[in-house]
Structure 1
Amino acid sequence: MNSFSLTQSLEFEEGGEIQNTHQLEIAGEEHAIEEEKAFSERRVSSVRDGGSDKDLEVGTDAQQTDEEEQTAELHDPNIVGWEGDEDPANPMNWSATMKWTMTGIVSLITFIVPLASSMFAPGVTQVTEEFHVSNTMLEELVVSIYILGLAFGPLLLAPLSEVYGRWVIYTVSNIFYTVMTIACAVSSDMSMLIVWRFLAGCAGSSPLAIGAGTIADLFPIHQRGLALSFYALGPIVGPGIGPVVGGFLAEAKGWRWIFWLLTIMSGAITVAQIAFMKETYAVTLLARKTKRLQKSTGNLQLRSKLDSGIPAREILIRAIIRPAKLTLLSPISILLSITAAFIYGILYLLLTTFPLVFEAQYGFSIGISGLTYIGLAVGNTAGLFIFSMTSDRYVSRRAAQGKLKPEDRLFPYFLVAGPLIAGGLFWYGWTAQAKTLWIAPIVGSALVGLGNMLFFMPVMGYLVDAFTVYAASAVAANTVLRSVGGALLPLAAESMYASLNYGWGNSLLAFLTLAFSPALIALYLYGERIRLRYPVKV
């Protein structure tokens, strides 16, 4: 069994005392790098038990010392941990109903927020007419500025969740998101709408920032793929479904009703989140348990097993700078973030230009042009189904063989994702330019959607599995650059199509997509070697 599979299996067999990536961050950040390097050099028969700040040493003497520390910790009456492997307070031991209820709520929040990014797109022409705006750059900006908000929000919300827990971050951000959406609905000019859209994106980014962490709190690695599939449904499928609803709603009731509908949905899910979700972050749960015991027993020497002794302010500062360090210093994080930014940018370029293409080329109305997004939605759904039905099975089989490594999340999806996206872009662009039957470019967009899902789903699983203690920061770094790409690339759409038309314009994007493919395949083949050679200490 290699380092990854041994570490992960022991991590969850120990009753979940260190059950997710964020807990390991608190328990001993620098230790994780040393642990992974030591395991890669030789196999050892013992790993540290949850929460120790001591670096793992290889050798008999080190094993004995480690075991002695574990034994002393187990018998230390002042250490507060879980009450055995089956402790019902441990989120890993919650019922399947509770776990999937919470996963469903997080997934719904994660669906509504990206839905809002594109649902507004078909109504932009109504906004420009009402506010007498003729600047086409502002038309594209009022849609994409929301994505920019989604980029910046996680930089603050993810670190705050490591200090105050998950539940409070979900609650506060959901309430603010609902308020900001109301503000969008009552905006009186374009500048006001742009500002409120940006703030709504910032407030609504909490599930993108900490949703993967919540799933890691609840599910062991061999169950995580299916849960991540539901969680990732929103960011990938939501932007494809949004315009379908938004197009008909804008045509029937006007663009403001798009935001009123979003307000109703976000308000309802906020109530459900407050009522039915519970705190899942073990560091916060054990800290609360420690305080209760201190109060009831009067013993102020009690301390949580996951308490690193680091002040909250220091934890917050470290967590804030960590995504930036990973973005700049980790080759894997850099490659995946840049690729995700480009592919997400392509997705939103298509989302913002579908009305232009189908209204100009095919004479569709606002409502009917919204239906053209169904191709993306169908492709995304197919990709989600393929990943959820195959990923966990393959990972479980590799684990049974003792060969599991994080890169197994990428196979075989990275072999086909790039060519699928590129092929879909070629198909979409040239059929739209030739004004062939309207279904032809929609089929091309479905291929783009399929490729998108087979890229983003493995990336999400890989970042959670590969970066262990730094997974939340890796996801945050990826989310930031991905959202920046989604916000900025669409701004070049009009000038690109004006110069190259739809055929060569989309072909340019397809060629650039293919240029990333060899690097993604190399990541699958050599990712483990790169991770061990370039560890990042933050």
Structure 2
Amino acid sequence: MATSDSQSDTTDNLTRLEKAQIPEDLKEETGVDIVPTSDLEASAGSRTSDDEVPDPFLVDWDGPKDPNSPMNWSNTKKARQLIAMGFNSFLSPDANLEAEIRPLSSSMFAPGEADVLAEFNSSNTMLGSFVVSIFLLGYSVGPLLIAPLAEIYGRLPAYHICNSLFLVFMIACAVSQTLPQLLVFRFLAGVAGSCPVALGSGTAVDLIRKEKRAGVMAIWALGPIMGPVVGPLAGSFVCANIGWRWVFWILTIAAGVMLVTTFLCYRETYAPVLLERKALALRKETGNEQYRSKFDRNLPRKQVFYMACVRPLKLLFLSPIVLCMTVFGGISYGYLYLMFTTITAIFEEVYHWPSEMTGLAYLGFGVGCVSGLIVTGQVANKVAVKHSAQGRFLPESRLGPIVVSCWLLPIGLFWYGWSAEKHIHWIMPLIGTAIFGCGLMSLFLCINTYLVESYIQFAASVTAANAVMRSLLGAFLPLAGPSMYETLGLGWGNSLLAFIALAFCFVAVLLKMYGGKIRTHPRFQLDL
């Protein structure tokens, strides 16, 4: 009997030892509930059991406190990069296109869009809307190119090259002589401008531990979301007073400042690239070609490039978790632009605001976004700290806020649509957009953090998959807006959107409950 108890204790001890040796990334992928000794991102290297001989030529960080690991950089160095990244993500995204050319209802155009069509002798309203949407089409193509290249060559070259090209294409937009030229250059600007959205989550993962990651990602996410709010506010004055071309020149000046700032502040943060550089230095120093990064799969370069290129598409279409989350986020993002197709017309025609002041109507959405940012960031960080301390942190820990905040989307849509339909005081539709903005910001943040926690080593690829779906739906859904609102009206048109959002709210609850089982199911494990 004593022998049996002894064997049982030995087995338990071995089981605990084996679990303790599972790296953090595998723990999060498999769902093993153990108390983490450290983050994957700051791990001291590959742990081995006592009977295994470590590979002396496998290059890793020099312990968990290696100062060369981005996770261990000083707070000042991290803050410098993150603040610059926030500016980068605010300027480059589709925020600026809403500033210069705002889509309206089918009955009228915004000053900027009308000026563009008049200058190029066009009366095609579909082309007017496409001038807006084509930037987002660039956003759907860019991440598929940028994310794979960044995971091979590093995030830093991708940032610098794309920011430089963004500046060039902004100038090209400003001097366009025909409408096709403007469309092409705006598309290329969208491709280059998608870089901070494609790589921002990955950069945050490189630098910040999971207990504080949600708050940092919330600040980064504010750029892509708040841009469409600040854009119309500034664009309504610029287009009405000095013309649509000056919007591009102002953006060019800002892009130049951004380019200089990022060259001064950005450093490479992607661990596989940094460790490969370390291995290369050791090979040169010692003359021994056996040194290799711990992330090196020992595959031909051509195969590595192919795998990197198809990785975002595999994640998007072969992972049910990624597909559900990206579709939910993409539809919600499309709702944002559908809502924006009516805001200007409502406040000009119903509430008789002058065209220069209609940009203020977007402030309700901005207030909601900031509120969602603050609340969701704080709640998500507290949950991460609590679950980590209890040894049960999983990617699904990031979905807590979404179970509550997702209901704000249909509520905001109902509120905004019917208050505008019934011509209630102007503050009421603004409150509706604020409620919607709060829910959208929380949703945006939870989806991003959940996806990067689920595929932490390939954060850029999974973020690219998310950006592609979001940009495609954001580009095409608004094209249906004018005809939908003309047929159904503002009340029932927004109600239709709200009912669809309600269905996705139940999907979010189910993913919170069963997402872990689906994510770790052997059938859905991908060879990335």
TM-score (norm 1): 0.87
User: Given residue 302 of structure 1, which amino acid in structure 2 is its aligned partner?
Assistant: Y
The 3-state SS of whatever aligns with 1:198 is helix
Q: CA deviation at 1:310?
A: 2.1
Are the counterparts in 2 of residues 162 and 316 from structure 1 also a CA contact under 8 Å? no
Deviation, structure 1 residue 311: 2.8
Contact 1:80/1:302, CA 8 A, preserved across alignment? yes
Match of 2:415 in 1: 427
For the 8 Å contact 1:120–1:143, the answer to whether it is kept is no
Correspondence 1:478 to 2:463? no
Distance 2:385 2:464 in 1: 27
Q: CA deviation at 1:38?
A: 8.6
Greater Cα offset, 185-194 or 141-150? 185-194
Question: For the residues of structure 2 that align with 1:36 and 1:177, how far apart are their CA atoms?
Answer: 36
Instruction: Describe the shift of the 1:43–1:169 C-alpha distance in structure 2 as closer, same or farther (beyond 3 A).
Output: closer
Q: Give the corresponding residue for 1:93.
A: 72
- d(CA) in 2 for partners of 1:399, 1:452: 27
Residue 98 of structure 2: aligned partner:
118
Q: Is this contact kept in 2: 1:326–1:536, CA < 8 A?
A: no
Do structure 1's residue 196 and structure 2's residue 178 form an aligned pair?
Answer: no
Letter aligned with residue 351 of structure 1? F
| Shift in Å, 1:412 | 3.0
2: distance between equivalents of 1:46 and 1:517?
Answer: 34
2:476 paired residue number: 488
Note if 1:453 corresponds to 2:441.
Answer: yes
Larger deviation, residues 300-309 vs 365-374: 300-309
**Alpha-carbon spacing, 1:188–1:361, altered in 2? closer, same or farther (3 Å):** farther
Query: Does the 8 Å contact 1:163/1:312 carry over to 2?
Result: no
Q: Distance in 2 between matches of 1:466 and 1:305?
A: 20
**Residue 501 (structure 2) aligned to one of 484, 502, 513:** 513
TM-score, normalising length from structure 2?
Answer: 0.88
Residues 6-39 of structure 1 deviation map (CA, whole Å, 9 limit, x = unaligned) = 9899757xxxxxxxxxxx7xxxxxxx59x94494
Structure 1: distance between partners of 2:496 and 2:31: 45
Aligned residue among 292, 313, 330 for 1:324 = 313
The CA RMSD over aligned residues, in Å, is 2.7
Number of residues of Structure 1 aligned to a counterpart in Structure 2: 498
Q: Call closer, same or farther: CA 1:302–1:502 in 2, change over 3 Å.
A: same
Query: In 2 relative to 1, CA 101–420 (structure 1 residues): closer, same or farther, beyond 3 Å?
Result: same
CA contact 1:171–1:274 (8 Å) conserved in 2:
yes
What are the superposed Cα offsets for residues 420-443 of structure 1, whole Å, 9 maximum, x if unpaired? 111111121122222222222111
Q: Which moved more, 1:139-148 or 1:351-360?
A: 351-360
Report the Cα distance in structure 2 between the residues aligned to 1:38 and 1:202, rounded to whole angstroms.
36
Counterpart selection for 1:103 from 73, 82, 85:
82
Distance 1:375 1:512 in 2: 23
Amino acid at match of 1:364: W
Distance 1:359 1:285, change over 3 A: same
SS of 2:92's partner is helix
Give SS of 2:524's match.
coil
2:70 maps to 1:72: no
Deviations 1:250-279 (A, max 9, x none): 112111111111111111111111122111
Q: 2-side partners of 1:471 and 1:296: how far apart?
A: 32
Where in structure 2 are the equivalents of 1:388-399 lying within 5 Å? 388-399=377-388
Q: Is the 8 A contact 2:205 2:456 kept in 1?
A: no
Deviation at residue 173 of structure 1 after TM alignment: 0.3
Deviation by residue 1:192-213 (Cα, 9 ceiling, x = unmatched): 2111111100011111111111
Deviations 1:467-502 (Å, cap 9, x if unpaired)?
Answer: 334443222111101110100000001101111111
In the alignment, structure 1 residue 266 sits paired with structure 2 residue 255: yes
**Alpha-carbon distance change, 97 to 155 in structure 1, aligned in 2, over 3 angstroms:** same
SS of equivalent to 2:187: helix
Shift of the alpha carbon at 1:169? 0.4
**Does the aligned pair in 1 maintain the 2:35–2:389 contact within 8 Å?**
no
Runs of at least 5 residues in structure 1 that lack an aligned partner in the other structure: 13-23, 25-31, 53-62
Partner Cα separation in structure 2 for residue 445 and residue 240 of structure 1: 11
Residue 373 of structure 1: how far off its partner (Å): 0.7
Query: Aligned equivalents of 1:349 and 1:329: distance in 2?
Result: 29
| Alpha-carbon shift at residue 67 of structure 1 (Å) | 4.2
Question: Which whole-Å CA distance do the structure 1 matches of 2:159 and 2:38 have between them?
Answer: 38
Report the secondary structure of 1:299's partner residue: coil
Query: Which one-letter code corresponds to 2:67 in the other structure?
Result: P
Report deviation, 1:407: 1.2
Counterparts of 1:313-462 in structure 2 under 5 Å?
A: 313-417=302-406, 419-462=407-450
Name the aligned partner's letter for residue 360 of structure 1: E
Report the secondary structure of 1:372's partner residue.
Answer: helix
Aligned partner letter, 1:79: L
* 1:361–1:46 distance in 2 versus 1, CA, 3 Å: closer
Cα offset for 1:324? Answer: 1.5
In 1, the alpha carbon distance for the partners of 2:227 and 2:206 equals: 25
CA deviations over 1:24-58 (Å, ceiling 9, x no partner):
7xxxxxxx59x944948x99999998776xxxxxx
Judge conservation of contact 2:35–2:390 (CA < 8 Å) in 1.
no
Tell which deviates more after alignment, 221-230 or 350-359: 350-359
8 Å Cα contact 2:402-2:508 kept in structure 1: no
Alpha-carbon distance between aligned partners in 2 of 1:89 and 1:423, rounded to the nearest angstrom: 48
Whether 2:312 is the aligned partner of 1:312: answer no
User: Measured at CA, do residues 290 and 469 of structure 1 come closer, stay the same or move farther in structure 2, by a change above 3 Å?
Assistant: closer
* CA distance 1:336–1:445, shift in 2 (3 Å): same
State the 1:374 CA deviation.
Answer: 0.7
Structure 2 unmatched ranges of 5 or more:
1-14, 103-111
**What is the aligned-residue identity percentage?**
42
**Structure 1 residue 508 displacement after superposition:** 0.9
Check whether the contact 1:326–1:333 (CA below 8 A) recurs between aligned residues: yes
Q: CA deviation at 1:458?
A: 0.7
Residues 118 and 352, structure 1, Cα contact 8 Å, conserved in 2 = no
- Judged with a 3 Å threshold, the aligned counterparts in structure 2 of structure 1 residues 9 and 507 are, in CA distance, closer, same or farther, namely farther
Q: Give the letter for the 1:153 counterpart.
A: G
Partner of 1:55: none
- Work out whether 1:138 is the aligned partner of 2:127: yes
Check 1:168–1:374 CA distance in 2 against 1; reply closer, same or farther (3 A cut): same
Distance 1:281 1:416, change over 3 A: closer
Residues 46 and 360 (structure 1 numbering): CA distance in 2 closer, same or farther, change over 3 Å?
Answer: closer
Deviation at residue 88 of structure 1 after TM alignment:
1.5
Deviates more, 1:43-52 or 1:421-430: 43-52
